[in-house]
Chain A
Amino acid sequence: QQQVKQSPQSLIVQKGGISIINCAYENTAFDYFPWYQQFPGKGPALLIAIRPDVSEKKEGRFTISFNKSAKQFSLHIMDSQPGDSATYFCAAIRLGTGNQFYFGTGTSLTVIP
């Protein structure tokens, strides 16, 4: 059973455009929601994260929007750049545990110059 559902599977955006990736979860015990960026041949790297008591978090060009009632959250990449081309994973975590860490299936983002 997929704990975290992610869409779309792939995304192509023009340079300067907005990239939007969506995730949904079911388990209300999750209390931390990070996004990871993964380049080919590398491990995932933490990009930005949010707690469910916050509806939005912005860091530079990256914004997480969080809808607790709908159990959905999304990553917005503003002014997308070719260097943003990577695979993005959302995740849901139950804090205070060591293993309650679930990734989405990933979104392959391509930013066209």
Chain B
Amino acid sequence: DTGVSQNPRHKITKRGQNVTFRCDPISEHNRLYWYRQTLGQGPEFLTYFQNEAQLEKSRLLSDRFSAERPKGSFSTLEIQRTEQGDSAMYLCASSRGDLAVQETQYFGPGTRLLVL
């Protein structure tokens, strides 16, 4: 399977704990994006990388959130001191470059986080 993969698929944690998610993009894609999707809503942009450089962060990404892509391949998204409001599906997507006709993002299956 050469699609975008995400691990874990599900995560249940207690409020206050730290969690880390991993995303492996399609191999030749240099752009990687993180989105958050809550129930009944469309995905909301969190941040994106061009290779290892983090180019933009949404104001949705509070100081408790940090994302890295150390070698320009896989990426991790860490949430510190989780809150119940962090419960959501966290989606990763990748693309070859800038958003372009017939070259939009390819999404992974997501990591569903539940904070108790």
Contact = CB atoms under 8 A, between A and B. Distances in A.
Interface in A27-79: 32, 34, 36, 41-46, 49, 51
Nearest to B50: A98
A46 B103 CA distance: 10
B91 interface: yes
A95 B100 contact: yes
A96 B98 contact: yes
Given A95-B101, A104-B42, A41 B109 contact: yes
Interface in A67-113: 89, 91, 93-106
Contact of B104 (A4, A49, A100): A49
Interface in B1-57: 4, 9, 31, 33, 40-45, 48, 50, 55-56
Given A98-B56, A100-B99, A43 B109 contact: yes
B105 interface: yes
- Give the size category of B's interface with A: 20 to 34
B45 A101 contact: yes
A97 B98 contact: yes
Nearest to B32: A98
A105 B42 contact: yes
B41 to A, nearest CB: 6
Counting chain A CB atoms within 10 Å of each CB, which of B45, B58, B104 scores highest? B104
Contact of B101 (A4, A51, A100): A51
Given A44-B43, A49-B104, A104-B42, A96 B109 contact: no
B51 to A, nearest CB: 12
Nearest to B57: A99
Contact of B48 (A95, A99, A102): A99
Interface of A: 4, 6, 9, 32, 34, 36, 41-46, 49, 51, 89, 91, 93-106
Interface of B: 4, 9, 31, 33, 40-45, 48, 50, 55-56, 58, 91, 93, 98-102, 104-110
- Sorted from nearest, which 7 A-B pairs have the closest CB atoms? A103-B42, A43-B107, A89-B42, A44-B107, A98-B48, A99-B56, A96-B98
